[in-house]
A and B are shown apart, each in its own frame.
Chain A
Amino acid sequence: MNGKKSSSRDRKGLSRTHILWALLAVFALSPAISANLQPSRYEGGRVKDEADIEARNTSAFALILGEIRANVSDLLFVKTELYLHSGVAYMPHLDYGEMAQTGEIEHRPAPTEDREPGTEFDFERHFREHQEEVGIVDHDDHDDEHAPTIIPPARQDFRGFIGELHRRVKPWRDPALAHIHTDGRELLPWYRLMTLSDPHHIRAYMIGAWWLKAQRSETQRKEAMRFLDEGVRNNPTAFQLYLMRGYMHNEDGNIELARDEFALAARHAAEQRPSQGPQHRDWTDYMEDDARGAVRMHVLLERELRNIERAIELSREYRAAMGEAVGFLNRIERDLEAMLEEE
Chain B
Amino acid sequence: MTPVWLIARSVLIEAVRRKEIYAIVLISTLLIGAVMTVDFFNLEGLTKFYREVALQVMSAATGLTVIVLAARQLPREFENRTIYPLLAKPISRLTFLLGKLLGVMLAAAFCYGLFMLVFILGTFYLGGEIPVGLFLQFLYLQMLKMLLLAALSFWLSMVVNLDAAIALGVIFFFASSVMTNAFTLLYPFADPFGQGTITVLNYALPQLALLDLTEKTVHSEFWPPLNLGTMFALTAYAGFYILVFFGAAWYCFRRRPL
Residues of A at under 8 Å CB distance from B? 24, 27-28, 30-31, 82-83, 86-87, 89, 136, 150-152, 157-163, 165-166, 168-171, 180, 182, 185-186, 188-190, 192-193, 196, 212, 215, 219-220, 223-224, 227
Contact = CB atoms under 8 A, between A and B. Distances in A.
Contacts of B34: 27, 30-31
A179 to B, nearest CB: 11
A86 to B, nearest CB: 4
B95 interface: no
Given A86-B219, A87-B218, A223 B42 contact: yes
B184 A157 contact: yes
B10 interface: no
A189 B215 contact: no
Nearest to B43: A188
Contact of A219 (B42, B46, B215): B42
Given A86-B222, A150-B184, A28 B30 contact: yes
A185 B203 CA distance: 39
B222 to A, nearest CB: 4
Nearest to A163: B184
B46 A189 contact: yes
B38 interface: yes
A28 B31 CA distance: 9
Give the interface SS of chain A, mostly helix, strand, loop or mixed.
helix
Interface in B31-62: 34-35, 37-43, 46, 48-49
A165 B203 contact: no
Contact of B38 (A89, A193, A215): A193
B113 to A, nearest CB: 23
Given A159-B183, A162-B207, A189-B49, A87 B37 contact: no
8 contacts: A87-B222, A152-B184, A169-B234, A170-B209, A185-B46, A186-B49, A189-B38, A196-B38
Contact of B202 (A89, A159, A223): A159
A171 B218 CA distance: 10
Contact of A180 (B40, B48, B213, B222): B222
Contacts of B216: 87, 169-171
A85 B46 CA distance: 17
B154 to A, nearest CB: 24
Given A185-B46, A219-B42, A165 B210 contact: yes
Contact of A171 (B49, B199, B215): B215
A186 B49 CA distance: 7
A188 B40 contact: yes
B180 interface: yes
A226 B77 CA distance: 59
Given A27-B30, A171-B215, A185-B43, A87 B210 contact: no
A169 B39 CA distance: 33
A220 B40 CA distance: 10
B105 to A, nearest CB: 22
A223 B233 CA distance: 47
B237 interface: yes
Contact of B226 (A150, A169, A185, A193): A169
Interface of B: 27, 30, 34-35, 37-43, 46, 48-49, 180-181, 183-185, 187, 195, 198-199, 202-203, 207, 209-213, 215-216, 218-219, 221-223, 226, 230, 233-234, 237
B223 A87 contact: yes
A161 B40 CA distance: 41
B210 A192 contact: no
A168 B226 contact: yes
Contacts of B221: 86, 136
A318 B211 CA distance: 58
A188 B34 CA distance: 17
A165 B202 contact: no
B46 A165 contact: no
A145 to B, nearest CB: 17
A136 B185 CA distance: 29
A220 B41 contact: yes
Contacts of A161: 233
Contacts of A182: 219
Contacts of B27: 27
A150 B183 CA distance: 10
B230 A165 contact: yes
Contacts of A159: 183-184, 199, 202
Nearest to B216: A171
A89 B181 CA distance: 10
A226 to B, nearest CB: 8
B19 to A, nearest CB: 10
Given A157-B184, A185-B46, A227 B41 contact: yes
A246 to B, nearest CB: 21
Contacts of A151: 181, 184
Contacts of B237: 162, 165
Contacts of A188: 40-41, 43, 46
B38 A150 contact: no
B40 A192 contact: yes
Contact of A158 (B39, B187, B223, B234): B187
Nearest to A185: B43
B30 A166 contact: no
A215 B41 CA distance: 11
